[in-house]
Structure 1
Amino acid sequence: MRSGATTGGCHDAALRRSTHRKGLAIRLSVTADEATPEREAGLADEPEVREALADGDRSAVHGVVTEHPSSPLAWTELADLADSEGRPLEAFAYATVAVDLARDQLAAAGWRPGASVSWAEEPNRAYLRGLDAKRRAALALGLDDVAANAAAELASADDSAPARIASEFTPTQQLSLADLRAAQDAADAADAADAADAAGTAEPSPDPSRED
């Protein structure tokens, strides 16, 4: 009788341990499945910088950098400006500052080199555009290894970024609305001057009343 009771007790204990392990496994599985995905590290938004850049013209970019010297976005805009004006040495220097600032700020938010930095998050574009500006300037200066490293870092961060930058941030598209208005005003003034010159040099039409 005792032997049977002992055997039954051992069986019950084994069953309880097995059930406990299965329950624990199920709970762990549910916990892992329901865990919230870790948010990617990203740059903080810079509304004041964006507003200042949008309201100003090309000549105002230096002032924005002076007012916001720790802004990756401001330095990236300055690098793009120098690049669009054919000044690769300055573009390289400005882009290097932009990238270094962005890396430091991303690292403070938990980012590690090689991790994703999504183009979809607008503040991150300062870092991604800065990398591409550095790549372009490095190529223009003959720094092929530096250019290759910048391209690799950009692709590692977001492989869609190079195409987006090429299509959305050409030198012409870097012109602000103020620049475009100024260019249009200059074109209108030139057209008006040409019209005035043409009117002044045109031969007068003969007066029929003076004909014999």
Structure 2
Amino acid sequence: MSRSGPPETVLPTVDVAIIHALRQAFEIAPDARRGAIAAVVAKFPTSLHAWAALGRASAPGIEAYMAFRVGYHRGLDQLRASGWRGSGFVRWQHESNRGFLECLEGLAVNAAIIGEEAEAVRCQQFLIQCDPRGRG
């Protein structure tokens, strides 16, 4: 911990090609949207924003849980690569952090839906530790 509090980690800037591809996918008719988002994930499998979008486009429960869980674990890898040591802030105010935080938040919600209460609580606590101010 530094004099100013816990360290803060900011993930690298999101590639504009990913943002563009996701915007295009969201413009597709609702019945084909999830497939279009899945195609973005297939093209950019390390994109936390793409995994978060896939989770949001999935049916609540196990389908969304799977997408958010993959995004969450990919996010942990990216946080570690960015210098995160297992604690410290990962704030919502940074656009590049939002994919990870959305995956963590979605994982908490969908873990509860499928009855994984302990995991849901752990994820909710981790989300608060990442940014006590929330989406703010």
TM-score (norm. length: structure 1):
0.55
Matches of 1:97 and 1:113 in 2, distance apart? 18
For 1:153, the equivalent position in structure 2 comes to 126
Structure 1 or 2: more helix by fraction: 1
Report how far residue 60 of structure 1 moved.
1.4
**Cross-structure match for 2:3:** none
Q: CA deviation at 1:48?
A: 1.4
**What's the secondary structure of 1:41's corresponding residue?**
coil
SS in structure 2 at match of 1:43: coil
Where has structure 1 moved over 6 Å in runs of 4 or more? none
Highest relative contact order (Cα 8 Å, sep 6+), 1 or 2?
2
Amino acid at match of 2:17: E
Q: Secondary structure at the match of 1:49?
A: helix
Alignment of 1:170-181 (within 5 A): none
Counterpart selection for 1:73 from 32, 49, 53? 49
Query: Are 1:42 and 2:10 counterparts?
Result: yes
| Letter of the 2:73 counterpart | D
Instruction: Return the alpha-carbon distance in structure 1 between the equivalents of residues 75 and 101 of structure 2.
Output: 9
Return the offset for 1:110.
Answer: 0.5
Q: Give 1:14-29 correspondences, 5 Å limit.
A: none
Cα separation, 2, equivalents of 1:68 and 1:77: 12
Q: Secondary structure at the match of 2:132?
A: coil
* 1:79 aligned partner, one-letter code: G
1:42-99 deviation per Cα after TM superposition (whole angstroms, max 9, x unaligned): 21122211111112232410110010011111111111111xx33x101111111101
Secondary structure of residue in 1 paired with 2:93 = coil
Larger radius of gyration between Structure 1 and Structure 2: 1
Given the alignment of the two structures, is residue 98 of structure 1 paired with residue 71 of structure 2, yes or no?
Answer: yes
How many residue pairs are counted as aligned between the two chains? 125
2:114 corresponds to which letter in structure 1? L
Across the aligned residues of Structure 1 and Structure 2, the Cα RMSD in angstroms comes to 2.1
Report sequence identity in percent: 29
- Give unpaired runs (5+ residues) of structure 1: 1-38, 165-212
Instruction: Supply the AA of the counterpart residue of 2:123.
Output: A
Structure 1 residue 114: deviation in Å?
2.4
Aligned to 2:39, the other structure's residue is in SS state: helix
In the alignment, the residues of structure 2 paired with residue 100 and residue 73 of structure 1 have an alpha-carbon distance, to the nearest angstrom, of 13
- In the alignment, which residue of structure 2 is the partner of 1:21? none
CA contact (8 A) 1:41 1:117 kept: yes
**Distance in structure 2 (CA, Å) of the matches to 1:155 and 1:114:** 12
